[in-house]
Amino acid sequence: MEKCTNEAHHHSKHNHQLCYEHTMQTIEKLCAKRNIRLTPQRKTVIQLMLNADKAMSAYDLLDQLKEIEPQAKPPTIYRALDFLIEQGFVHKVESINCYIICPHFDDPSHISILFICDKCQSIIEEHSPIIEAQLQSLAQKNMFIIQHSVLEIHGTCQHCANQIVGQ
């Protein structure tokens, strides 16, 4: 099946339901393997994010979560997000205070480069060994020890650029 990313969800017609269930199953297996608990609440948050097809703010997610669990409060969603980020299933998009499912959580060995469409909030995740090497080189020059990289590129996605031209 076609690799399912936010981008694919958003702009193609592949079988979303199949892909969605496949992702959930992969996450469930990984949690079992790591001996950590994927509680119904955490699972619900993943489901909300998978269905969104775009970056979601904590309060966007909270509003949706409340429809299922009316007692949910800000700490509820932040605790779930903390867990999911810690486990590598979710990225925080720092420059817009939003959150996405990482489409490559089964291979966390790379630095993620996010291309963020400011029109539709869809996000393409890319990777580049060249950039990683170059960053390491710059770090060494300054005797800096890298712990975590935030690479977020803002602009307009193909879909939205076409819409503007087409009008």
Tell me whether residue 40 or residue 129 sits nearer to Zn ion (CB atom).
129
d(CA 148, CA 81): 18
Partner that binds at residue 57, options its own copies, Zn ion, DNA, none, CB closer than 5 to 8 Å by kind: DNA
Question: Going residue by residue from 67 to 86, which x/- string records binding to DNA, judged by CB under 7 A?
Answer: --x-xxxxxx-xxx-xx---
Indicate if the alpha-carbon torsion angle 4, 8, 10, 12 is positive or negative.
negative
Interacting residues with Zn ion between 63 and 122 (CB under 5 A): 102, 104, 112, 117, 119-120
Regarding 146 and contact with its own copies (CB under 8 A), the answer is yes
Q: Candidates 19-27, 55-63, 101-109, 130-138: pick the segment binding DNA (CB under 7 A).
A: 55-63
∠ CA 83-84-87 to the nearest 5 degrees?
A: 85
Interacting residues with DNA between 90 and 119 (CB under 7 A): 92, 97
Partner that binds at residue 112, options its own copies, Zn ion, DNA, none, CB closer than 5 to 8 Å by kind: Zn ion
| 100, 93 Cβ separation under 8 angstroms | yes
d(CA 23, CA 50): 9
Question: Going residue by residue from 143 to 162, which x/- string records binding to Zn ion, judged by CB under 5 A?
Answer: --------------x--x--
The dihedral over CA atoms of 61, 67, 69, 75, expressed in degrees to the nearest 10, equals 30
Q: Candidates 18-26, 45-53, 68-76, 156-164: pick the segment binding its own copies (CB under 8 A).
A: 156-164
| 95, 152 Cβ separation under 8 angstroms | yes
> Nearest Cα to 105, choosing from 50, 53, 54?
50
d(CA 116, CA 55): 9
By the criterion CB under 8 A, which residues form the site for its own copies? 7, 94-95, 113, 115, 117-118, 124, 126, 128, 130-131, 134-135, 138-139, 141-158, 161
